[in-house]
Amino acid sequence: MKILVYMGHPAHFHLLKNPVRELEKKGHRVIVLIQKKDILEDLLRGSGFTYRNILAGGRKDTKLGLAIGMIKRDTRLLRLCLKEKPKPDIMIGTSIELPHIGKLLRIPTINLNEDDCQAVPLYCKLSYPLSSVILVPKSCDTGKWEKKTIHYDGYHELAYLHPHVFQPQKEVVEKQLSPEGAYFILRFAKLTAHHDAGKTGITTEIAREIIKRLTPHGRVFITSQRVLEPEFEPYRIPLNPVDMHHALYYAGMYLGDSQTMTAEAAVLGTPALRFNDFVGKLGYLEELEHKYGLTYGIKTSQPERLFEKIDELLKIKDRKQVWQQRRQKMLEDKIDVTAFLVWFIENYPKSAEEIKSFCGGSRGAVFSKRAPLAAGGKKTNMNNKKIILVAGARPNFMKIAPLLHEMKNHPGIEPVLVHTGQHYDENMSERFFRELEILEPGINLGVGSDSHAVQTARIMEEFEKVCLEEKPDAVLVVGDVNSTAACTLVASKLRIITIHYEAGLRSRDKSMPEEINRLVTDAISDLFFTTSKDASENLIKEGHPKENIFMKGNLMIDTLVRNLEKAESIDMIFETKAASHEKIRLGEDFIPGQYGVLTFHRPTNVDQKEDLEKLGDIWTEVSEKIPLVFPVHPRTWKNILAFGLDKRMRSYPRLFLIEPVGYLHFIRLMRYAKFVLTDSGGIQEETTYLHIPCLTIRPSTERPVTVWEGSNKLIKVDDIMAELDLILQGKGKTGKVPRFWDGRSAGRIVEVLLEELVDI
């Protein structure tokens, strides 16, 4: 398929860059045309795009100049299309010229816009009548052209700023801006487009007052499309335009007269103030303001209200955290715009017909999360397939969370979260529902702790009752705890489709209860999701059909990516287990990059006094070289007390024994550690993604990819000091990130579920 994409503004580049890349990956040929304007070419070059400029010269910002420019572009676009053999199959863009040429050459044209007709009447009059379809956000009013309009429940800005496609990088901001504390971004738009005629925004006097009010609270940076007055030059932001969204995410506040950057700040969760003459005329910004409280629009006739709102926002405690919570609510409502655009373009005109059919052929049909289409655009025909997701232990929640978030986007799936209660400590369970934004499970078996046999039996007995009452179409289990094997046995005997995520992992060590659980679970499951190639190969060797095995990525990494930046906003203060119950703080008692993290809970390491005592001696020796932070697992602390080792371990001045911490606290601890010393499984994966050296005190691992490719090393207790010396010399293993460990695994897994369960 040959696709012509037209960009006339930097905002168009951001909207279309990810869909273009995805379409090219799928084998389509994409021709990018631009109308040279401001930093558009810089953005294209900086991102490695090939493009053609059909307006090499400048233009005069008068009505006559605009008309002449449009005629020139019409002519050049026509010539280019006539030269293309074969001609493009479809044309996409936000442009007056594109529908003209599309109509003339009988090429379907998708008109992308987000501005209401009352704000851009000339654009609508000149382009909408000749467009094949008008594709706009749900909040956009296309006036009398609603009949050929298809709305989607999202915003242009989500095509490039949704967490699925954009992860802010603090180091990018720190390297270029070197902000010491809070900072604010002030934006001056050019206001010379045809729809800007007669409009005003932030004047010199108002800019002075804004800077005066903000300066006591942080540094002010200005980004400007128009020529900057000399007095404002010291405030010019020293930033590569490609990195603007990283700076916008971390800003304490955004203020400007630009529509696009206001919306960008809002969808990034940054408090945004817009000051121009378009207030009240743009549906998407009105929705972001009045439905989600992410932005405020103030008319140019009310400068005093602008100043009052600035002062009001500056007084809000935890302002950024409040806005991030509002952002999360917005994200839960909206679709994945990139996936939608790719599907719509690739399947047009059938895609438009399907949406209109679902909406009963109504005017202004809307694609939303309720539409019976998968994120990738495949029709599922699923009728509320009920899937029970089982969580029993702390790592299970971290794997299930991204699946629950993704399943919200698909009305064909009805997820039911069952918590077996295998971990009953508040620090190890309920806390995670809050931090991972998972609703309290409707079903909690409350089995508690006991021997393997008793606990497994209790889970089976209680879970069978759940299955008989809920009558699920499938049961999805994760990991390798007792709950995993027990619930798989129940579902299999009831002839319910059983799905195992994290299948195929093998340590070859049957002394580990987890290995037995893995073998039992995989032996009787129906569908398998693996995190690495070796896991898939293990399943094939064990006789499972290739068509039932899917390597789609690592859900632990999805959760890690989703929460890394959120973790930056929390207080890192911990109460130690020292007799005085003193508190320690990251940045004071232990410095980022200058401490290690310990986690130990395996029976082979902590259930025998001799083993635990030997480890304690090593921890002491290590802490003499570098501080150690040790969130102590309840099992480990119970044994430390039973063996009478608590007084001794509490006496080590640089071995900080603390209570088990929440997920957000732990990933931040891990992110800034010099190394991690552990016997855990999941931590081997997280440190690999973070490129943190990981020393695992085990003879084998079920996650060998973290050793072959990642930052993990399997070592003996006696080798700890030698490995530590290498790390302290800067020679620690950092490795690379395995395939599909990109934070987008849940989307791929749910897509498979939609296809595999459709005929059940």
Active-site amino acid positions: 601
CA atoms of 459 and 446, how far apart (whole Å): 9
* Closest C-alpha among 264, 270, 307, 263 to residue 286: 263
Strand-pair partners of 100: none
- Burial of 414: CB neighbours in 10 Å, binned 0-12, 13-18, 19+: middle
- Tokens 């790390």 locate to 727
CA atoms of 420 and 461, how far apart (whole Å): 11
Give 531-559 as a DSSP string.
SSHHHHHHHHHTT--GGGEEE---HHHHH
Cis peptide before 349 (omega within 30 of 0): yes
* Closest C-alpha among 450, 431, 439 to residue 631: 431
Q: Residue 502 is inside which H or E element, if any? A: none
CA atoms of 741 and 513, how far apart (whole Å): 27
Residue 728 CA to its chain's centroid (Å) = 33
CA atoms of 506 and 696, how far apart (whole Å): 16
Q: Residue 657 is inside which H or E element, if any? A: strand 655-658
Tokens of 521: 């679970």
- Start-to-end CA distance of the chain, whole Å, equals 34
Cβ neighbours for 155, distance < 8 A, ≥ 6 positions apart: 114, 137, 139, 263, 267, 284, 288, 334, 337
Fill in the DSSP letter of residue 654.
T
Tokens of 624: 């003499």
Cis peptide before 545 (omega within 30 of 0): no
Q: Residue 49: CA atoms inside 13 Å, Cβ hemisphere, count?
A: 28
CA atoms of 455 and 502, how far apart (whole Å): 22
Cβ neighbours for 666, distance < 8 A, ≥ 6 positions apart: 631
Which residue intervals of 128-243 are DSSP H helices?
158-161, 170-177, 204-214
CA atoms of 741 and 684, how far apart (whole Å): 13
Handedness of CA 712, 714, 716, 722 (dihedral sign): negative
- Reduced to 3 states, what is the DSSP secondary structure of residue 478? strand
Q: For residue 543, is it left (φ>0), alpha (ψ between -120 and 50) or beta? A: left
Cβ neighbours for 258, distance < 8 A, ≥ 6 positions apart: 187, 188, 189, 225, 274
* Closest C-alpha among 290, 701, 203 to residue 480: 701
Whether the CB-CB separation of 412 and 754 falls below 8 Å is answered with: yes
Q: In what order do the strands lie in the sheet with 596-599?
A: 655-658, 628-631, 596-599, 675-678, 694-696, 712-714
